Amino acid sequence: MKLLHLLLVGLLVLMPLSYVASADDDAPAKTKRSAKARKAKETKERDVRKAANRKKKELREMGVKNVRVKNPGDWPRKVSVPKDTELAPGPQGGPDFTYTSNHFLYVSPVKLDAAAQKTVARLCECAYAANKAIGEEIPVPRATADRGDKKFMVQLQPTMEAYFAAGGPRNSAGVFLGAFRRPANVAPGTPQITKEEHIAMDKVMIPFPSLGIGANGSVVSEDINTHALVHELTHQQFLLNNLPIWANEGWAEYVGYVPYVGEDLDFDRGFSLILHAAKQRAESGALDFDFSLEDFFTMDQQTMYGYMPQGKDTYMLSVMTVAFFVHLDGKKGVDAMKAYLQALIDGKSAADAAQELIKPHRSVERLQQDFIRAWKSKKVKVSFPKKR
């Protein structure tokens, strides 16, 4: 009996050990997978930190000094690549390769490797999130309202030659090939394009070299022209073509100047880059204009673009005007910009809407003086002719 008792006790002791050993058969594999995932996460975080440090170093070497300015309300400070950003193969069947992320369809004649896909998609989704954040604070009309489930299109071209051949402007690093949006005051009977045609034509085209991608679809450089891509994506995501040309280009330039630091669009440094560029333009005399600020508010596209070959940077003036109302003119400037954009959305003419910008300053002459004074306080000289 004593022997039987000892055998039973031994079995009871061994049974749980046997059970535990069976339950942990997968433990080494699970541990291995967990370690691999942890290592991948650490590698990604290290790469993001390296990219951020590299960008900060680049800004320092450019001589960009971090200048803090007052931001309106819930203005974004940093906008990160959304955590739910996903990449997936797009619809196949044609000669091109297609890829999709949350809000974009990417079309490329050359297959992109995994690193190139990540570079393009994460920047595009970050730009989308940034523009969405701005649109929640300022009533810039957004292009998402009537798109349904249609994604924004980004057409990629493997070389600059292919980009130019497909309609990319010379001396550009990207372009928004948007549909011409029909003004409210066109003559009766003018043909209208359909919503579907708008969506089909609203695409950004960008060449591989602007993204640091080689003609074979692989990342070959860390030097990405984020200004060009984010500028064009802003044209695409805001219905800027409905705005006067200065506001159209001003808003696209404003977001384009926001640097991509790591995987953040860093709005805190955006004004610093605008200021740095404005100082450089002022030193060359590119901000000495022969028209008034009031003229600028109603200037047509051909006239505004015509000043550029003459060495007068109307693009710079457009982003300086946005930055003045948003950052340098206090709460009244932000409120004026909101009222101005809302007036345009409501269908008012460029001249009538501009009164919303002028009103808080009591006269256009006073507004112009305040504009000059505000930029002078930042050591930027801009001049307009004095009223006769």
Q: What is the pLDDT of residues 161-179, one digit of tens each?
A: 999 999 898 888 899 886 5
pLDDT band at 139, cuts 50/70/90?
confident
Structure token pair of residue 43: 């590698």
CA 147 to chain centre: 19
Give the closest residue to 85 by CA, choosing from 107, 56, 118, 58.
118
Structure token pair of residue 181: 């949006």
pLDDT band at 374, cuts 50/70/90?
very high
Burial of 315 (0-12, 13-18, 19+ CB in 10 A): buried
Residue 18, pLDDT > 60, answer no
Structure token pair of residue 343: 């007036």
Helices (H), the chain: 2-23, 27-62, 114-135, 160-165, 195-201, 226-237, 245-257, 267-283, 293-297, 301-307, 314-323, 330-345, 350-358, 364-376
The string of pLDDT tens digits covering residues 185-196 is: 444 555 554 555
For range 43-71, the mean pLDDT: 64
pLDDT the model gives residue 23? 47
One-letter amino acid of 226:
T
Average per-residue pLDDT for the chain: 81
| Phi, psi (rounded to 5 degrees) for 219 | -70, 125
How many CB atoms neighbour CB 285 within 10 A? 12
For range 36-65, the mean pLDDT: 60
pLDDT band at 14, cuts 50/70/90?
very low
Residue 242, pLDDT > 60, answer yes
Find all residues with CB under 8 Å of 363, minimum gap 6, and list them: none
Q: Give strand pairing partners of 260.
A: 265
What is the C-alpha separation between 374 and 388, in angstroms, rounded?
A: 23
Place of tokens 């990342």: 219
The string of pLDDT tens digits covering residues 79-138 is: 999 988 888 888 777 788 999 999 999 999 999 999 999 989 999 999 999 998 988 888
For range 181-209, the mean pLDDT: 61
Q: What is the sign, positive or negative, of the torsion defined by CA atoms of 235, 241, 244, 245?
A: positive
Using DSSP bridges, classify how beta strands 97-100 and 88-89 pair: parallel, antiparallel or unpaired.
Answer: antiparallel
pTM of the model: 0.79
Helix (H, G, I), strand (E, B) or coil at 207: strand
Helix (H, G, I), strand (E, B) or coil at 229: helix
CA dihedral 66, 72, 73, 75 (to 10 degrees): -50
Residue 223, pLDDT > 90, answer no
SS3 content of the chain, % helix, strand, coil (to 5): 55, 10, 35
pLDDT band at 204, cuts 50/70/90?
very high
Helix (H, G, I), strand (E, B) or coil at 107: strand
CA 233 to chain centre: 6
Q: What is the sign, positive or negative, of the torsion defined by CA atoms of 248, 145, 346, 357?
A: negative
Helices (H), 63-108: none
Q: What strand order describes the sheet that includes 152-157?
A: 88-89, 97-100, 104-108, 152-157, 203-207, 175-177
Q: What is the sign, positive or negative, of the torsion defined by CA atoms of 148, 152, 155, 160?
A: positive
DSSP letters spanning 24-72: TTTHHHHHHHHHHHHHHHHHHHHHHHHHHHHHHHHHHHHT------PPP
Question: Domains of the chain (ranges plus CATH)?
Answer: 45-74+254-388 (no CATH), 80-182+193-242 (3.40.30)
Give the closest residue to 207 by CA, choosing from 185, 229, 180, 240.
229
